[in-house]
Structure 1
Amino acid sequence: MARKRKGRDISGWLVVDKPAGLTSTAVVNKVRWALDAKKAGHAGTLDPEATGVLAVALGEATKTVPYITDALKAYTFTVRLGAATNTDDAEGEVIATSDERPADAQIKEALQPFLGEIMQVPPKFSAVKIDGQRAYKLARDGEEVELAARPLWVEELILLDRPDEDHVVLEMTCGKGGYVRSIARDLGAALGCYGHVKQLRRIWSGPFDAEDGISLELVDELAKSTDLDQYLRPLEEGLADLPELKCTPQGAVRLRNGNPGMVMAADVEYGDEAWASLDGQAVAVGIYKAGELHPSRVFVQPERAA
């Protein structure tokens, strides 16, 4: 018989402004400990040296993680021109250098092919699995790593600044699965000068902004106290990209039992994915069919006070 997980039945999102030098898993573990939460996860890994939005889901909010993972995200990052590294960032070993330095106009022109639906090869030092093993583990062991290109939607990629001839600051908005390090690597190759990421910050992810994030120092300061609870955001924010359908109390009962429940349709069509709410509280996510929501995920939340 499995042991019951200890901790509070607490649900919602805690948006952390992640500092450099920590893994995403370490941040999640810190938040879970600080809030004494039974269950926690995150929506989209950040490299250890990256900063910015790390949205930590707690309790029932973990069921909404896929919707944040699939949402658009935006990054600002600095590319160091003139050098390639084996990790495609400043943490790796320099493997090639060049004295070539492109002009701003050349950089702007080179960014154009990176827009829209592109095919991107992940960095060799990444968490992508090859025959069941993480690519970075194979690369660290000195094995030759060959990764297949993957599709990526790039909504926007613009030149923000050129502090000096060796550095460019870019901003990118992209879909799920994008590697900023690959963009820096491939841009350097396209410009004929090599390149790697020097600094990286995720400025927003779906509905969550870095400027609204809580610092890890404050998480530490308020740990194990209910004062930290005030920074929790409702799990419903994780469903921001899905249409909301209101249901009746009777419909909510059916949905919570895993059965189709009657909803009041708004701007949805047959077969659309949506979420049902009762008094603003998420009841279930599912597929809308002829006046009913057929649930795929059901939320177990305490009823909110009127």
Structure 2
Amino acid sequence: MARKRKGRDISGWLVVDKPAGMTSTAIVNKVRWAMDAKKAGHAGTLDPEATGVLAIALGEATKTVPYITDALKAYTFTVRLGQATNTDDAEGEVIAESDARPSDDEIKQALGQFVGDIMQVPPQFSAVKIDGERAYKKARDGEEMDLAARQLWVEELLHVDRPDPDHVTLEMTCGKGGYVRSIARDLGKALGCFGHVRELRRTWSGPFKAEDGVSVETIDAQAKTGALDAYLVPLEAGLEDLPEVRCLQDSVAKLRNGNAAPVIASELEFGDECWASYDGKAVAVGIYRGGMMHPSRVFTTLDQSEVL
């Protein structure tokens, strides 16, 4: 018999403004401990030295993680020109240098090739799996891999500042699976001067903004007191990019049991993915077919007393 997981049945999102020097997993573990949560996970890893939005899903909100992972995200980052490193960031060893320093106009012109649908090769030090093993583990052993390029949608890539000849600050909005370190590396190559990421901050991810994030200091100070519950964002925030349909009272139990049920919808087409709500709370995610929702994920946060 499986052992019952300890902790509170608490559901929602806690947006953390991640500091440099901590892994994403360490933040998740800290939040789970501080809030005594039974279940927690994050929507999109940040490198240890990166800062900014790390959205932590608790309880039933973990079922909405894929929709935040797939959402657009924005980053502000500084590229160190003139140096390439083996990790494509400031934590690695310098493996190539150049005295060339492109002008602002040359940088702006080069950025165009990294906008739209692009193919991007992940860094050698990344979490991509090669023969069942993470690439960064192989890289640490000195193994050089031929990583396959992956498709990435880049909505926008802007030149925002040039603090000095050696550095340029950029802002990027992109889709799922983007490596900012790869952008810095490939931009340096395109400019003929090499480059790596010096600083990186995720400013927003889907509906979540860094400016609304809770600090690690606040988490530590309010741990185990219940005060952090005030910062929770409803799990429905993770469904923002899906169309909402309204659930009839008689349909709630059917959907929660995994059965198709009638819903009230407008401007939806046969086969569209959507989420059903009752009194504003999520009941299920599923596929809309001719007035019926066929659920693929169901939520248990709605009490039966709230349906009667």
Please state which band the TM-score falls in when normalised by the shorter chain.
over 0.9
Per-residue CA deviation, residues 90-144 of structure 1 (Å, 9 max, x unaligned), is 0000000000000000000000010000000000000000000000000000112
1:112 is paired with a residue whose SS is: helix
Whether 2:157 is the aligned partner of 1:149: answer no
**C-alpha spacing 1:305/1:256, structure 2 compared with 1 (3 Å):** closer
Q: Which residue of 2 aligns with 1:190?
A: 190
- Equivalent residue runs for 1:136-285 within 5 Å: 136-285=136-285
1:302 Cα offset (Å): 4.0
1:131 aligns with 2:131: yes
The residue number in structure 1 matching 2:85 is: 85
Question: Do 1:243 and 1:267's aligned partners in 2 also have CA atoms closer than 8 Å?
Answer: no
User: How many Å separate the matches in 1 of 2:19 and 2:234?
Assistant: 24
Contact 2:222 2:228 survives alignment (8 Å): yes
Work out the CA distance in 2 between the residues paired with 1:89 and 1:143.
18
2:78–2:199 CA contact under 8 A, matched in 1: yes
- Tell me how far apart the structure 2 counterparts of residues 248 and 54 of structure 1 sit (CA, whole Å): 35
CA distance in structure 1 between the aligned counterparts of 2:122 and 2:144, rounded to whole angstroms: 14
Q: Which residue of 1 aligns with 2:103?
A: 103
2:81–2:196 Cα contact (<8 Å) kept:
yes
CA–CA distance in structure 2, aligned partners of residues 253 and 2 of structure 1: 26
Distance in 2 (CA, whole Å) between partners of 1:262 and 1:167 is 57
CA distance in 2, matches of 1:263, 1:88: 49
The secondary structure found in structure 1 opposite 2:171 is strand
> 2: distance between equivalents of 1:32 and 1:13?
12
For residues 225 and 262 of structure 1, the distance between their equivalents in structure 2, rounded to whole angstroms, comes to 42
Give the deviation of 1:225 after TM superposition: 1.1
Does the residue aligned with 2:56 lie in a helix, a strand or coil?
A: strand
What are the residue-to-residue correspondences of 1:282-301 with 2, within 5 Å? Answer: 282-301=282-301
Question: In structure 2, what is the equivalent of residue 19 of structure 1?
Answer: 19
Structure 1 residue 205 displacement after superposition: 0.2
- Distance in 2 of aligned mates of 1:215 and 1:76: 19
Instruction: State the SS of the aligned residue for 2:187.
Output: helix
SS of residue paired to 1:76: strand
How much does 1:185 deviate?
0.1
AA partner of residue 165 (structure 2): E
One-letter amino acid matched to 1:64: T
CA RMSD of aligned residues (A): 1.0
CA distance in 1, matches of 2:235, 2:146: 39
Q: 1:227 to 1:24 in 2, by over 3 A?
A: same
CA contact (8 A) 2:283 2:302 kept: no
1:27-65 residue CA offsets vs partner (Å, 9 max, x unmatched) = 000000000000000000000000000000000000000
Q: 2: distance between equivalents of 1:266 and 1:63? A: 25
User: Does the aligned pair in 1 maintain the 2:281–2:302 contact within 8 Å?
Assistant: no
Judge conservation of contact 1:82–1:194 (CA < 8 Å) in 2: yes
Q: Counterparts of 1:254 and 1:302 in 2: how far apart (Å)?
A: 13
Partner amino acid, structure 2, of 1:35: M
